[in-house]
């Protein structure tokens, strides 16, 4: 039974879902980094929100960990590179809290426009300062959106409903999408020059860090109001403080801070500042959504191999997962077959899909081939890190789907090019689920993959099978199956022999020295 640790506050629905789906679950919230490191080795999955930091140090001791699930959107608290290198799938729940967060941005826009929190405090202190809190309407003002993805788009729709004009800066926003949303697609400079309100909705990345830096903030319109409901680090907090004090910025609302929890922050105490403690996603509805979704996604992955909303693996739908499972085995075995026969550096691998398999989502199959191919050289390769490891080693990976009939209803061919040669191997599924080799180097051969195998190439001359059988018999090796193929009579022949025990190197050398043998190699699957 796989075991998951929930290390941040998640709706109790998550625990119910994990249990319903056969996943054991522990809830331990508020662990310090060393406490997390001490226990993480026991878990197959880690479910988090934004508090837990999944660092390279945590991942280094997470020996069983297969999946990190973020109940929310931002994954800047997960070292995805380190997770990928260790073969850990990272998934998030990209839509579950988007409406809630967009609503919070709108709420904060109103709050700064009308100074609601300060007016509330003053009123409850019995001051009745009617003239102090002169606000500003939102209608017909320009809202500048930096980032117009899921949340930014919802903010745009709501703002248009409030009769605001919306200008969006997002390099990945198409003109058509902008038109459909009813927003002006602008450059960042145009946005800065036009906006009465600026709301930011990008992830925190190396490109977006400090996107609203001091210089840019100084170019905004006097009286601008700024909302940050995305991430601390996107806006220069000290500059905002200075510009609030100088009156250039009329108001600012921050839900997120450069350091969280924000017990202290340079912004605190600045005039016309509204702060909330990273509440963007904190509604009952959003928390139910993300907890349920993350628990479903993680359970599906751990129990069936289905992958959804992963940041470092191609998605595999729950429907596809059982269909792909036998192909994944076939793909990895074909890659492994080619990898075990490869003794020099691999320059390129081409994976061709024909027949039924070509209609499937083949990305995961390609990753399985690469995994099998690299495993003889690399101990810790798996489907998550295989593409990166291949790229780091300069292996060019090509994936081709053929729209043509092959000899088999479904066929995968792996062709590996090394410095010395190009070699191909093809396989199919018998009965829709049993992986079989069908061609090696274009020579037809039908063989299943067995735990211990002997691969031999030899001259196609009489007497070889007898010599091989005698040697194996004399050394007490029992033959399970024996498959033969050849390119032409008297030409190159291939023998694939499944045996009942692991073959030692000395015996393989003796087989290699038999008359007519050009190569002998022990293979394991």
Ligand X SMILES: O=C(O)CC[C@@H](O)C(=O)O
Q: Which of 66, 86, 278, 436 binds ligand X (CB under 6 A)?
A: 278
Q: In sequence order, what DSSP letters do the residues of 439-479 get, joined into one string?
A: EETTEEEEEE--SEEEEEEEE--TTHHHHHHHHHHHTTPPE
Give, in order, the Cα–Cα distances in Å from 2 to each of 41, 321, 476.
Answer: 13, 18, 41
Which C-beta is closer to ligand X: that of 151 or that of 381?
151
Which residues are CB-neighbours of 303 under 8 A, at least 6 positions away? Answer: 2, 21, 22, 23
- Minimum Å gap between C-beta 147 and ligand X is 13
Is position 281 an interface residue for ligand X (rule: CB under 6 A)?
yes
Give the DSSP H or E segment for 254.
Answer: strand 249-254
Which residue number has the CB closest to ligand X?
A: 72
Cross-strand partners of 70: 48, 92
The least CB distance from residue 153 to ligand X, in Å, is: 16
Closer to ligand NAD by Cβ: residue 144 or 364: 144
Q: What is the DSSP letter of 504?
A: P
295 near ligand X (CB under 6 A): no
Q: Which does 312 bind (CB under 5 to 8 A by kind): ligand X, ligand NAD, none?
A: none
The residue among 72 and 376 lying less far from ligand X, judged by its C-beta, is 72
Q: Does 72 bind ligand X (CB under 6 A)?
A: yes
Look at the block and give the residue holding tokens 């509604």. 283
Establish if 282 lies at the interface with ligand X (CB under 6 A). Answer: yes
Taking alpha carbons only, the member of 258, 211, 251, 212 closest to residue 112 is: 251
Task: List the interface residues with ligand X, window 93-122 (CB under 6 A).
Answer: 97
201 in active site: no
Decide whether 152 or 355 has the Cβ nearer to ligand X.
152
Q: Residue 184 or residue 320: which is nearer to ligand NAD going by CB?
A: 184
Contact 297, 291 (CB under 8 A): no
d(CA 400, CA 158): 44
Task: Give which of 410, 417, 406 is closest to 365, Cα–Cα.
Answer: 410
In the numeric block, which tokens belong to residue 384?
């998550």
Q: What's the CA gap between 355 and 432, in Å, rounded?
A: 12
CB nearer to ligand X: pick between 196 and 296: 296
Among the listed residues 49, 165, 231, 486, the single catalytic one is: 231
List the interface residues with ligand X, window 425-464 (CB under 6 A): none
Which residues, in sequence order, are bridge partners of residue 263?
none
Q: How far is the CB of 394 from ligand X (least distance, A)?
A: 36
Nearer to ligand NAD, 153 or 406 (CB): 153
Does 150 sit near ligand X (CB under 6 A)? no
Q: Please say if 209 is a catalytic residue.
A: no
- Is there binding between residue 73 and ligand X (CB under 6 A)? yes
Applying CB under 6 A, what is the total number of residues that bind ligand X? 10
Per the listing, tokens 């788009």 go with 153
Query: Token pair of 372, please?
Result: 């099998």
Q: Which of 278, 375, 436, 486 is catalytic?
A: 278
Q: How many residues does the chain have?
A: 525
Strands 492-499 and 452-459: antiparallel
Decide: is 292 part of the binding site for ligand X (CB under 6 A): no
Q: Residue 49 binds which one of ligand X, ligand NAD, none, with CB within 5 to 8 A depending on kind?
A: ligand X
**Which of these segments, 71-79, 117-125, 384-392, 513-521, binds ligand X (CB under 6 A)?**
71-79
For residue 147, the partner it binds in ligand X, ligand NAD, none, with Cβ less than 5 to 8 A by kind, is ligand NAD
Residue 417 touches which of ligand NAD, ligand X, none (Cβ within 5-8 Å per kind)? none
Q: How far apart are CA 146 and CA 164, in angstroms?
A: 16
Q: Does residue 310 interact with ligand X by CB under 6 A?
A: no
The H or E element containing residue 423 is strand 422-430
Nearest alpha-carbon partner for 252 in 220, 204, 286, 206 = 220
- Measured CA to CA, the distance from residue 523 to residue 525 in angstroms comes to 7
Binding site for ligand NAD (CB under 6 A): 72-74, 94, 97-98, 101, 146-152, 169-172, 201-204, 207-208, 229-231, 255-256, 278, 280-281
- State the nearest-atom distance from the C-beta of 44 to ligand X, in Å: 22
**Residue 184 in tokens:** 């002006």
Residue 50 binds to ligand X (criterion: CB under 6 A): yes
* Contact call for residue 384 and ligand X (CB under 6 A): no
Instruction: Tell me if 129 sits within 8 A of 145, measured CB to CB.
Output: no
In terms of phi and psi (left: phi > 0; alpha: psi -120 to 50; beta: otherwise), the region of 361 is beta
Residue 278 among the catalytic residues: yes
Note whether 271 binds ligand X by CB under 6 A. no
Q: What does the binding site for ligand X look like in residue numbers (CB under 6 A)?
A: 49-50, 72-74, 97, 278, 280-282
Residues tagged active-site: 231, 260, 278
């Amino acid at each position: 039974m796989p075991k998951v640790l929930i290390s941040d506050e998640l709706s109790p629905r998550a625990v119910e879902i994990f249990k319903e789906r056969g996943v054991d679950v522990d809830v331990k919230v508020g662990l310090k980094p060393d406490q997390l490191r001490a226990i993480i080795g026991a878990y197959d999955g880690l479910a988090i929100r934004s508090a837990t930091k999944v660092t390279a140090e945590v991942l280094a001791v997470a020996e069983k960990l297969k999946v990190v699930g973020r109940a929310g959107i931002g994954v800047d608290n997960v070292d995805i590179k380190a997770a990928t290198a260790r073969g850990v799938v990272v998934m998030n729940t990209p839509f579950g809290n988007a409406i809630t967060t967009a609503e919070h941005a709108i709420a904060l826009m109103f709050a700064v426009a009308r100074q609601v929190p300060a007016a509330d405090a003053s009123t409850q202190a019995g001051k009745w300062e009617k003239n102090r809190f002169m606000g500003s309407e939102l209608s017909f003002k320009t809202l500048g959106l930096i980032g117009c993805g899921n949340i930014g788009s919802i903010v745009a729709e709501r703002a248009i409903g409030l009769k605001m004009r919306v200008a969006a800066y997002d390099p990945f926003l198409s003109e058509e999408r902008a038109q459909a949303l009813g927003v002006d697609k602008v450059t960042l400079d145009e946005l800065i020059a036009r906006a009465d309100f600026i709301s930011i909705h990008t992830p925190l990345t190396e490109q977006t860090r400090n996107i609203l830096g001091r210089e840019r903030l100084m170019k905004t319109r006097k009286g601008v109001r700024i909302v940050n409901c995305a991430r601390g680090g996107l806006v220069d907090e000290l500059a905002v403080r200075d510009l609030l004090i100088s009156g250039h910025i009329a108001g600012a609302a921050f839900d997120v801070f450069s350091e969280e929890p924000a017990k202290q922050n340079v912004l605190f105490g600045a005039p016309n500042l509204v702060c909330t403690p990273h509440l963007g996603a904190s509604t009952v509805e959003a928390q139910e959504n993300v907890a349920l979704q993350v628990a479903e996604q993680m359970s599906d992955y751990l129990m069936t191999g289905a992958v959804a909303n992963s940041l470092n693996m191609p998605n595999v739908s729950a429907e596809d997962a059982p269909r792909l499972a036998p192909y994944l085995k076939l793909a990895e075995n074909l890659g492994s077959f080619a990898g075990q026969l490869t003794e020099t550096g691999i320059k390129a691998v081409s994976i061709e899909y024909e027949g039924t398999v070509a209609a499937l989502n083949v990305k995961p199959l390609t990753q399985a081939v690469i995994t099998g191919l690299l495993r003889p050289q690399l101990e810790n390769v798996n489907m998550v890190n295989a593409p990166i490891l291949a790229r780091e080693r300069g292996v060019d990976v090509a994936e081709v789907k053929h729209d043509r009939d092959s000899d088999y209803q479904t066929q995968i061919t792996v062709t590996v090019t090394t410095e010395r040669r190009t070699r191909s191997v093809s396989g199919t599924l018998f009965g829709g689920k049993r992986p079989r080799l069908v061609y090696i180097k274009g020579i037809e051969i039908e063989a299943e993959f067995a735990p211990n195998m002997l691969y031999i190439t030899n001259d196609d001359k009489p007497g070889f099978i007898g010599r091989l059988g005698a040697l194996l018999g004399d050394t007490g090796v029992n033959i399970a199956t024996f498959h033969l193929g050849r390119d032409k009579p008297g030409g190159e022949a291939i023998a694939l022999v499944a045996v009942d025990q692991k073959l030692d190197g000395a015996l393989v050398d003796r087989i290699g020295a038999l008359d007519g043998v050009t190569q002998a190699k022990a293979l394991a699957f």
